[in-house]
Amino acid sequence: MAEANGPDYLDSLLERGLLLGTGQDGIYGRGADFEDVVERLDALIVRRWRTKDGAEPVRFPPMMPRRDIEASGYLHSFPQLAGTVHSFCGDMGEHREMLRCIAVGEDWTTNQKSVDLALTPAACYPVYPVIARRGPVPERGWLIDIASYCFRHEPSRDPARMQAFRMHEHVRIGTPEQILAFRTMWLERGREFAAELALPATVDLANDPFFGRSGEVLAANQRRQELKFELLIPILSAERPTACMSFNYHVDHFGQVWQMRTPDGAIAHSGCIGFGLERLTLALFRHHGLDVASWPEPVRRVLWDAA
């Protein structure tokens, strides 16, 4: 793999029509070949593990109640990445004023009102409050297969750092032992998955991009407790490989927030593993070339023939 910075790789993807520019960094259309690979990866994840593991599929739209995001703690840790939904709630006079502002290029958005929705920041966030309403966590725990478009406000010309992207996750809720066994199993599966796709991967301890000065403490704690691992694949550089999967142990954080309890009355623990579908797709195009027809035969077999 030749070295290239983000904008260079982005340009080659745009030239080939794999991504389509919209004029906003991190917001792209997906051309036929790019989307086909995303969909095949997604289908492969379903085909291989959903039935085998007995994971329950649940899907949400790319937005969720704002108060669930407030309760989740996301705004403590990542206020800069969150997106909220606002709408026009005025009368005809205010509408005329809005149109006047648009016509002369004045800012009309300060009159938009928050409508109690936030954009989904990671596919699993809407799951916990909905699952918590089912009552006590059963003995076997919960295992949910979830996928969704996610939003993070971080405009960038790095194609591996989109503002809107898809994440496919398995979410585990239960006892600490259940969560740790789940994560250990997926760390191994992640390595095997990358090998099967002929992608060079390493697994490493990681931390989330917590906001502000106190964020440094949170990041250090997360690393010390070994709560987050990532499967890293070089996309833009060999020195700074990109996280294409993550393996997370939330301890009892979501259990506390949503008061989820195991049958013995203890606060439930949770964890999730996530595939970054666009990032894995970018890694495949990076390592195997921009023409899917010339990808290595074993990789094509996994994605195309096994359906």
Q: How far is the CB of 2 from a copy of itself (least distance, A)?
A: 28
Nearer to a copy of itself, 229 or 285 (CB): 285
| Under 8 Å between Cβ of 169 and 276 | no
Q: How far is the CB of 43 from a copy of itself (least distance, A)?
A: 10
What residues contact 152, with CB distance under 8 A and at least 6 apart? 78, 81, 83, 121, 163
Q: Does 56 bind a copy of itself (CB under 8 A)?
A: yes
- Which span (161-169, 185-193, 242-250, 283-291) binds a copy of itself, by CB under 8 A? 161-169
Query: Restricting to residues 113-132, which ones interact with a copy of itself according to CB under 8 A?
Result: 113-117, 119, 126-127, 129-130
Q: Does 156 bind a copy of itself (CB under 8 A)?
A: no
E-strand stretches of 189-297: 202-205, 228-233, 242-251, 269-276
Q: How far apart are CA 218 and CA 210, in angstroms?
A: 7
Sole binder of a copy of itself in the list 6, 53, 143, 153 (CB under 8 A):
153
Residues in region 228-287 near a copy of itself by CB under 8 A: none
Q: How many whole angstroms separate alpha carbon 104 and alpha carbon 292?
A: 46
Site for a copy of itself contains 54 (CB under 8 A): no
Measured CA distances, 277 to 35, 133, 213, 224, 243 (Å): 10, 29, 31, 28, 11
Question: Which one of the spans 157-165, 188-196, 260-268, 280-288 is the region binding a copy of itself (CB under 8 A)?
Answer: 157-165
188: phi then psi, degrees, rounded to nearest 5 = -70, -45
Taking CB under 8 A as the binding criterion, the range among 111-119, 175-183, 197-205, 269-277 that sits at the site for a copy of itself is 111-119
Scanning residues 195 to 214, which ones bind a copy of itself (CB under 8 A)?
211-213
Query: Of the two residues 164 and 187, which places its CB atom closer to a copy of itself in the complex?
Result: 164
Q: Which of residues 58-87 bind a copy of itself (CB under 8 A)?
A: 58-68, 70, 75-76, 79-87
Q: Tell me the longest C-alpha to C-alpha distance in the chain.
A: 64
Q: How far apart are CA 46 and CA 39, in angstroms?
A: 11
